Amino acid sequence: MSLKKLDFSILQQCMHCGMCLPSCPTYDTTKRERNSPRGRIALMRAVATDEIPLSQSFADEMSFCLGCLACQSACPAAVDYATLFETSRAEIEATGVSVSAPRRLLRFLTLDLLFTRPRFLRVVGKLLRFYQVSGAENLVRKILPKRLRELERQTPRMAAQFSNDLIDPVESGDGSSKKVALLTGCVQDLVFSQVNRDTADVLLANSCEVHTPSVQPCCGSIHSHNGEPGMARENASRLLDLLPPQDFDAIISNAGGCGSHLRHFSKLLPNEPRAALWDAKVRDVHEFLAEIEVRSPDVAPFEEEKRVTYHDSCHLAHGQKVTLEPRQVIDLIPGIERVDLSESDWCCGSAGVYSLTQPEQSQLLLERKLGHIRATGAEILLTANPGCVLQIQNEMPELKIMNPVSLLAQAYRNESKKL
């Protein structure tokens, strides 16, 4: 895939009106056009028409872009920025302008090795877990140099049990009327496996038969986002084989970043007849719950009333345009007061591996987000993407952060306790 081979009308669709500028977190920081969506599109167009070479400077710009897709929500002309952005990153990788040995090794270890082999990923997850609970972690932290120590600190805490330990391949309740597939994700599976359990519980409580294959390939979002469309295609094909879309009423994702990618398999695999049906069946769990008119729980999730606020993950709000549904789900739950978060759909700086590749800008966005969260006075932050949870929790360990679906699951659980 390259910018030159891309359908030129996708680039042309940008009429450079500038309506994207106020939505772009990097333009907001620098006020420079090249750091804005329309500026980046102008650079892509210049690469496509040979006005500029595909330079290191171009690569740096594409790395500086969060890929938060807030510009897509703001764009009056429906420019497909996601495709432009992923094509640019893929071309940068293919031409090797930003190649360095350590970068290549890191990409090989993560993209090639870890995120294409779910079983191996879990083994690594178990080892990490051992490292974190055995005390080795504390020892290592003492001896690491400062920069590595800061990076190490960002390593997420592995869960004691992964999704396959918590969820049977097929679960159903009384009178299940809908058959759904549950995608457990990668980070969600290793770090937030309880969110997957909660998702299954909520679906079961709403008359679904839930199919959760115990070993699932990565959805390929991380590959697509980081310029490796080949690996993304391979993962997509494996998912289609594992969960044929014709067998399910819906395919459920509970991670914003995955869902945004999962809906576009037909673009990734234009010659795959099942892809369009797959795309049509993918749902964010909150969207699905709103669609099937989720049952309102009778009791509150906590003994006391709690004030909560909701942070939109970029790829749920801008990538999937799901903004109302999570709020509707939250508002159904008794004993919960939801207050609005300012700039709730502004990126928190997590953006995949952005906190590693662009630590300064990431930190700036994180602090802005934390300021708004503190201003709400909320005791619980609700959000539906594991990346955001890790990013915010790292800096605000005292804050309780939950997926809305987990809050709902907790309320349902309290119902059965009361009986």
Partner 1 sequence: MIDALTALLGAENVLTAKEDLVPYSFDGTATFRELPVAVVFPRTTEEVARCVKICREHQTPIITRGSGTGLSGGTVPTPGAIVLCLVHMTKIVEIDPANLTLRAEPGAITADIDAAAAEHGLFYPPDPGSMKISTIGGNVAENSGGLRGLKYGVTRDYVMAVTVVLPDGEVATFGNACVKDVAGYSMKDVFIGSEGTLGIITEVLLKLLPRPEARRTMLATFSSMEAAAETVSAIIAARIIPCTLEFLDQMTIRCVEDYTKMGLPTDCAALLLMETDGHPAAVEDEANRMAAIARSHGAMEVMTAADEAESLKLASARRSAFASLARVRPTTILEDVTVPRSHLAEMVTFIAETAAKLELTVGTFGHMGDGNLHPTFLTDERDEEEMKRVHQALDLIVSKTLSLGGTITGEHGVGLAKKMWLRDQLGDASLNLMKKFKETIDPDCLLNPHKIFD
**Residues at the site binding partner 1, with contacts judged by CB under 8 A:** 8-9, 12-13, 15-19, 21-22, 31-34, 36, 38-40, 42-43, 46, 51-52, 55, 57-58, 61, 76-78
Minimum Å gap between C-beta 226 and partner 1 is 21
List phi, psi (to 5°) of 178. -130, 145
The amino acid present at 162, given as its one-letter code, is F
Report how far residue 241's alpha carbon sits from residue 233's, in angstroms, rounded to the nearest whole number: 12
Judge contact between 373 and 367, C-beta under 8 A.
Answer: no
List phi, psi (to 5°) of 250. -155, 155
Nearer of residues 9 and 100 to partner 1, judged by Cβ = 9
Nearer of residues 57 and 177 to partner 1, judged by Cβ = 57
Nearer of residues 16 and 178 to partner 1, judged by Cβ = 16
Nearer of residues 28 and 379 to partner 1, judged by Cβ = 28
Q: Which residues contact 259 (CB under 8 A, 6 or more apart)?
A: 253, 282, 283, 284, 315, 316, 319, 320, 322
Minimum Å gap between C-beta 291 and partner 1 is 16
The tokens describing 303, both together, are 């003994």
Minimum Å gap between C-beta 41 and partner 1 is 9
Minimum Å gap between C-beta 416 and partner 1 is 38
Nearer of residues 372 and 413 to partner 1, judged by Cβ = 372
Nearer of residues 9 and 416 to partner 1, judged by Cβ = 9
Minimum Å gap between C-beta 25 and partner 1 is 14
Minimum Å gap between C-beta 387 and partner 1 is 28
Report how far residue 313's alpha carbon sits from residue 365's, in angstroms, rounded to the nearest whole number: 13
Instruction: For Cα atoms 241, 244, 245, give the angle at the middle one, nearest 5 degrees.
Output: 140
DSSP state of 170: E
Q: Which residues contact 42 (CB under 8 A, 6 or more apart)?
A: 14, 16, 33
Tokens 């028409």 -> residue: 49
The tokens describing 282, both together, are 């993918």
| Pick from 72, 67, 108: nearest CA to 86 | 67
* DSSP state string for 109-135: IIIIIGGG-HHHHHHHHHHHHHHHHHS
Nearer of residues 22 and 230 to partner 1, judged by Cβ = 22
Nearer of residues 64 and 302 to partner 1, judged by Cβ = 64
Report how far residue 88's alpha carbon sits from residue 60's, in angstroms, rounded to the nearest whole number: 11
Minimum Å gap between C-beta 370 and partner 1 is 23
The tokens describing 203, both together, are 């679906």
The tokens describing 243, both together, are 């969960």
Nearer of residues 13 and 328 to partner 1, judged by Cβ = 13
Nearer of residues 39 and 245 to partner 1, judged by Cβ = 39
Judge contact between 182 and 200, C-beta under 8 A.
Answer: yes
Q: Which residues contact 78 (CB under 8 A, 6 or more apart)?
A: 13
Minimum Å gap between C-beta 165 and partner 1 is 44
Minimum Å gap between C-beta 193 and partner 1 is 39
Minimum Å gap between C-beta 338 and partner 1 is 18
